[in-house]
A and B are shown apart, each in its own frame.
Chain A
Amino acid sequence: MLENIDLSLVNWSRAQFALTAMFHWLFVPLTLGLSFIIAFMETIYVKTGDPEWKRITKFWMKLFGINFAIGVATGIILEFEFGTNWSNYSWFVGDIFGAPLAIEGIMAFFMESTFIAVMFFGWNKVSKRFHLTATWLTAVGANLSALWILVANAWMQRPVGMKFNPETARNEMDNFWDVFLSPTAVTKFLHTTTSGYVLAAIFVVGISSWFLLKKRHVLFAKRSIVIAAIFGLVASVMLVATGDGSARDVAKTQPMKFAAMESLYEGQRQAPLIAIGMFGKEHDDPMNRDSDQEFLMKIEIPNMLSYLAFLEVDAFVPGIKDLVLGNEEHNIMSYKEKIRRGYEAQQTLRAFKDAKGVDDVEYERLRAKFDDKEWVDNYFRYFGYGNYYDPDPEQLELNAFKIVPPISLSFYAFHIMVILGGHFMLLFMVLLWLIYRRKLQSNKVVLYTALWTIPLAYIASQAGWIVAEVGRQPWVIQDLMPTMTAVSKIDTSSVMITFWLFAITFVGLAIAEVKIMVKQIKNGPKEGGHK
């Protein structure tokens, strides 16, 4: 089974997708949040008629434009890659996954690209109110784009609203609203977009703080900070609330990811939450039956993990070993059993295909299994586990441990994200307090902190996606399709070449983007613009 997989092809394909997705995500969150911040600023301009607000709006709009272009440039790559590099995936789930992508194009991208043209070029061509409407619609369009792709991603984490069709050998949607309104989709959308708002708010307060430190454009900087800090604080509160909801959702639907995020090897009641932790040298990753949780240091909050996951301090949180080896007391099926069942589902599909045109009775009998809810719930739902089957029991157990995600990376990414999230909320509160007390300008420590929080916002944002995507490995579709079977059958060398082409292109683009951005910032609002 596993030996038939070309792991170098799988790994290069994963590397390429990770590279392109992470690079794309450097630009998207700023677009999501800055579009609203600009819309707030322009609204104040239209309401007050104060030209200073127009100047403020246009300065941030210019930075928005530079960032937006590169976000668009990198977004198309992901859409293509679903087909070019994940061909089996795009057939197996295209019936569900494709629809949000198409709706995204029709509903969101056109709105975004149409009204962004008015936003940039329409100052003298359309009325003030029309222009303001266009700015708001750009923000709505940008956020709608995020909605649909996040619905698609959430579906991969929690496949719902579909039924497997053995004739076509793919999953087919049978309830659009289950896909669209799945709790995973709702929390994912809210958590991800609000993270973008927080990042954009930090971007604005950080750059404005730099102007205050330099004692340039003081009014502009203060006004920008007020808008961004209020927006950022509200978004942070939502971010924490949706993060909490998201963690509970993960605990329920992806318990292995949840255990990896906390590096919880052995399940327990009254499980503590590790606030800060660092692994020791003995830490096993990947792990096996004999691995022990090994920390160099950690600070724990008693009972908190049980409460966070199930809102009960006494709740049992399953550990990685419980999930792999099974735990009868808590009614957890072992991965070995899931692998056996998944293998049987795969063999049933194979036999069904082989019976086609050969044995009609057998064909109909096997066909009926896929319509039998009990069989689907007990066997087909573990379909993807079947790829880890091995007739040798020892090898089977080794394979079962391969269904554990990278623990250190999931753990660190999760904790970095959470700690930084707390820092952001605190920063917005301090900024607003100092502005209220009229003491911000003189407080260099806070201003420098705001400035240096900009890169931290990007780190937190990337870490969030690492938790979501690395933490669910080896699944591309939870329990149904492992990443290794989703790839296109192409030469590894082709993917290696495109990987490096992307890497070189991205480095070049990133350097150009940062240098242009820094130059525009240094020019400031008045002199900003073209040579």
Chain B
Amino acid sequence: MFGELSHLALQQYWWIIVSLLGALLVFLMFVQGGQTLIYTIGKTNVERTMIVNTLGRKWEFTFTTLVTFGGAFFASFPLFYSTSFGGAYWVWMIILFAFVIQAIAYEFRTRPNNVFGARTYETFLLINGLLGTVLIGTAVATFFTGSAFSVNDMNQSQWALKSHGLEAALNFHNLSLGLAVFFLARVLGALYFMNSIKHEGIFQRAKKQLVINGVPFLVFFLTFVIWLFVRDGFAVNPDTQAVYMEPFKYFNNLMAMPVVLVMFLLGVLGVLLGLGASILREECTKGIWAAGAGTVLTVLSLLLVAGFNNTSFYPSTHDLQSSLTIQNASSSHFTLTAMSYASLMVPFVFAYIWYVWKAMNNKPIDEDEMNSEDIHVY
């Protein structure tokens, strides 16, 4: 089945899968956003316990999606993995540390004898929420703005700057996406609390946070998107594979791919709908679904804009011809085919996640559940 597809078709298929994983990751970063709101929304110990526990039942999805996103990227576009991870060392290392400290924080936070105290573990969650979102957003923005690296004829890569990736955070266009992701994660976090916790105080305070974080989100998101659509992009000549700069490249890509354009518009609309309805309507608890679906569609469309329509998805500003495209950075036809068969499991994975999520979130968390003897509480 997959073996008969052309190499390019398989590369496109895998770029869609990687983009979808990236899009789901951004949605699931509601966990990170929520972690930065523990003290803002939770005013008492019980409230904070409810917040931590409702996030604590989902953090592993985000974490696993990140790991799978990394694994899928490695497997399908290994040249990106070797070039970016081995070059932008510090950005990836800081992201890594931010996730390492998250993974133990939930389990250790309220355990007796945990050495560092609950506040330390809550600080870990805060650091994860802050750095994880801002730096992942910043790193993804380099897909459009470029990085300083070169790749030799043996496909060995070298970073041109001593700052090894930290320079990405000094570029305001990159940072605007980082901050947009950060505030979006907080918005999604607040929407998730409104949906999953049955508590009036938390509901109202979460609602207030929608405005406080929704406005900067929109400002940074629009800054990023408008800037993106007016800037020159890294185009690839399909015949010679030469990379060159093309004015309005990303805007042109969107126009050239109507399906992606529709996805982008629907996505933005979904986020606005989820946000607006939750702010304006009295008892709206379903905003997370519209905003979540909107986030997935928006991020997916932006990543497709980065990689499709003869575009370099990981461009080099140092040596234009070293730029990575889905064609020159990908795995072989055989490997992509083998993995494509493995990808047939994805719908099945979605199905059981959905089923379990429904079973577990059937009833929102409340104070009674936190005091139950018969349940694992963080």
Q: Judge: A and B partners, yes or no.
A: yes
| Residues in A neighbouring B343, C-beta threshold 8 A | 106
Tell me the residues in window 154-201 of chain B with beta carbons closer than 8 Å to chain A beta carbons: 154-159, 162, 164
CA A77 to CA B99, docked complex, whole Å: 9
What residue of chain A has the Cβ atom nearest to residue B373's Cβ? A529
A318, chain B: closest CB distance, angstroms: 34
Q: How far is the CA of A168 from the CA of B190 in the complex (A)?
A: 47
Within 8 A of B (CB), among A103-152: 103-107, 109-118, 120-126, 130, 134
Known contacts A489-B86, A494-B164; A79/B70 CB under 8 A: yes
Contact: A90 with B114, CB < 8 Å?
no
Inter-chain contact B67/A76, CB cutoff 8 Å: yes
Min CB distance A511 to B, Å, is: 6
Interface residue? B93 (CB, 8 A): yes
CB 8 Å contact bits of B351-378 with A (1 = contact, 0 = none): 0110010011011000000001111110
Is B374's CB under 8 angstroms from A123's CB? Answer: yes
Query: Which A residue's beta carbon lies closest to that of B18?
Result: A102
Decide if A503 is an interface residue (CB 8 Å cutoff): no
Which of B81, B106, B156, B372 is A98 in contact with, Cβ under 8 Å?
A: B81
Assess whether A95 is interfacial by the CB under 8 Å rule.
Answer: yes
B145 at the interface (CB under 8 A from A): no
Q: What residues of B have a CB within 8 angstroms of the CB of A116 in the complex?
A: 60
A107→B345 contact, CB < 8 A:
yes
Could you give, for residues 33-69 of chain A, a 1 whenever the CB lies within 8 Å of some chain B CB and a 0 otherwise? 0000000000000000000000000000110011011
Contact residue range for chain B? Answer: 35 or more
* A515 interfacial contact with B, CB 8 Å: yes
Contact across chains for A70 and B89 when beta carbons are under 8 A apart:
no
Cβ-defined partner of B74 (8 Å) among A98, A106, A349? A98
Could you tell me if B60 and A87 are in contact, using CB atoms closer than 8 angstroms? no
Chain A CB within 10 Å, residue with most, of B74, B162, B164, B375: B74
> Which residues of chain A from 501 to 531 have a CB within 8 Å of any chain B CB?
501, 505, 508-509, 511-513, 515-516, 518-520, 523, 529-531
Q: Is B103 an interface residue (CB 8 A)?
A: yes
Question: With A70-B104, A98-B71 in contact, is A90–B332 under 8 Å at CB?
Answer: no
- Asked if A364 is an interface residue, CB under 8 A from chain B, the answer is no
Proximity string of chain B (55-78) to chain A, C-beta cutoff 8 Å, 1 when within and 0 when not: 001001101101111111011101
Is B1 interfacial (CB 8 A cutoff)? no
Partner of A91 from the list B82, B112, B113 (CB cut-off 8 Å) is B82
Say yes or no: B68 contacts A106, CB within 8 Å.
Answer: yes
State how many angstroms separate the Cβ of A240 from the closest Cβ of chain B: 33
Q: Which residues of B contact A454 (CB under 8 A)?
A: none
Query: Could you tell me if B153 and A353 are in contact, using CB atoms closer than 8 angstroms?
Result: yes
- Smallest CB–CB gap between B281 and chain A, Å? 28
Chain B CB count within 10 A is highest, among A66, A85, A117, for A117
Interface flags, A290-317, vs B, CB<8A=1, else 0: 0000000000000000000000000000
- 1/0 contact trace for B113-126 toward A, CB 8 Å? 11110000000000
Given A84-B89, A125-B362: A99 and B338 within 8 A (CB)? yes
Tell whether, in the assembled complex, residue A103 and residue B342 are in contact, meaning their CB atoms are under 8 Å apart.
Answer: yes
Closest Cβ of chain A to B200, distance in Å, is 23
Whether A106 lies near B346 (C-beta < 8 A) is yes
Enumerate chain B residues within 8 angstroms of A126, measured Cβ to Cβ: 359-360
Q: Are A94 and B75 in contact (CB under 8 A)?
A: yes
Cα A349 to Cα B152 with chains together (Å): 14
Q: In the complex, A240 Cα to B89 Cα: how many Å? A: 42
From A113, A134, A520, B63 is in contact (CB under 8 Å) with: A113
A contact residues around B157 at 8 Å (CB): 87, 91, 489
Give chain B interface residues in 312-351, CB to chain A under 8 Å: 331-332, 334-335, 338-339, 342-343, 345-346, 349
Q: B155 to A488, Cβ gap below 8 A?
A: no
**A495-B45 Cα distance, complex, nearest whole Å:** 41
Partner of B86, one of A70, A488, A515: A488
A165 contacts chain B at the CB level, 8 A cutoff: yes
Q: In the bound complex, do residue B360 and residue A69 qualify as a contact, i.e. CB atoms below 8 Å apart? A: no
Contact assessment for A76 and B103 in the assembled complex, using a CB-CB cutoff below 8 Å: yes
Count of interface residues, chain A, beta-carbon cutoff 8 Å: 90
Is A72 interfacial (CB-CB < 8 Å)?
yes
Bound-complex Cα distance A247 to B374 (A): 47
Structural contact, B100 and A87, CB atoms closer than 8 A: no
Q: Which residues of A contact B156 (CB under 8 A)?
A: 87-88, 91, 489
A110: contacting residue among B69, B349, B360, CB under 8 A: B349
Tell me the smallest distance from the CB of B124 to a CB of chain A, in Å. 10
Distance between Cα atoms of A513 and B103 in the complex (Å): 13
CB <8 Å contact, A83 and B81: yes
Which residues of chain B are within 8 angstroms of A168 by Cβ–Cβ distance? 155, 332
List, in ascending order, chain A residues with CB within 8 A of B68's CB. Answer: 102, 105-106, 109-110
A491-B159 Cα distance, complex, nearest whole Å = 11
Residue contact A76 to B96, C-beta cutoff 8 Å: yes
- B90 in the interface, Cβ–Cβ < 8 Å? yes
Answer whether A113 and B86 are a contact pair too, CB < 8 Å, given A102-B76, A125-B363. Answer: no
B334 in contact with A90 (CB, 8 Å): no
Report the nearest B residue to A88, measured CB to CB. B156
> Is A453 on the interface with B (CB-CB < 8 A)?
no
**Of A68, A99, A102, A498, the contact of B93 (CB 8 Å cutoff):** A498
Partner of A118, one of B116, B155, B359, B374: B359
Asked if A341 CB lies within 8 Å of chain B CBs, one says no
Cα A99 to Cα B339 in complex, Å, equals 7
Nearest-neighbour CB distance to chain A for B340, whole angstroms, equals 11
Residue A415 at the B interface, CB < 8 A? no
* In the bound complex, CA of A508 to CA of B154 (Å): 41
Q: For the complex, is A191 an interface residue (Cβ under 8 Å from B)?
A: no
Contact pick for A173, options B72, B100, B335, B359, CB 8 Å: B335
Closest beta carbon of chain A to B165's beta carbon, Å = 10
Q: Are B61 and A113 in contact (CB under 8 A)?
A: yes
User: Is B133 on the interface with A (CB-CB < 8 A)?
Assistant: no
Closest Cβ of chain B to A97, distance in Å, is 8
Q: Name the CB-closest residue of A to B61.
A: A113
* Chain B nearest CB, measured from A65 CB (Å): 6
Asked if B338 and A69 sit within 8 Å, CB to CB, the answer is no
Given contacts A83-B92, A489-B159, contact A102 B82 (CB under 8 A): no
Tell yes or no: A174 within 8 A of B by CB. yes
Inter-chain CA distance A89–B82, complex, in Å, is 8
Set B57, B102, B113, B334: member contacting A121, Cβ < 8 A:
B57
| Residues of B close to A84: CB separation below 8 A | 85-86, 89, 92-93, 96
Residues of B within 8 A of A508 (CB): 115-116
Does A336 sit at the interface, judged by CB under 8 A? Answer: no
Q: Residue of B at shortest CB range from A519?
A: B113
A107-B342 in contact given A114-B353, A125-B363 (Cβ < 8 Å): yes
In the complex, whether A445 has a CB less than 8 A from a CB of chain B is no
Are A124 and B332 in touch, CB under 8 angstroms? Answer: no
Contact of A95 among B69, B78, B115 (CB under 8 A): B78
Q: Judging by beta carbons under 8 Å apart, are A491 and B162 in contact?
A: yes
Are A117 and B114 in touch, CB under 8 angstroms? no
Q: Give Cα A84–Cα B83 distance, bound, in whole angstroms.
A: 9
Q: Does A436 contact B (CB under 8 A)?
A: no
Give me the 6 closest cross-chain CB pairs, A-B, nearest first: A87-B86, A83-B85, A94-B78, A105-B68, A98-B75, A73-B103
Sample of 26 A–B contacts (CB below 8 Å):
A61-B376, A65-B107, A68-B107, A70-B103, A76-B100, A90-B82, A94-B79, A98-B74, A102-B74, A102-B75, A105-B64, A105-B69, A105-B70, A106-B342, A109-B64, A111-B349, A111-B352, A115-B356, A120-B375, A121-B375, A126-B360, A169-B155, A172-B331, A176-B334, A353-B154, A516-B114
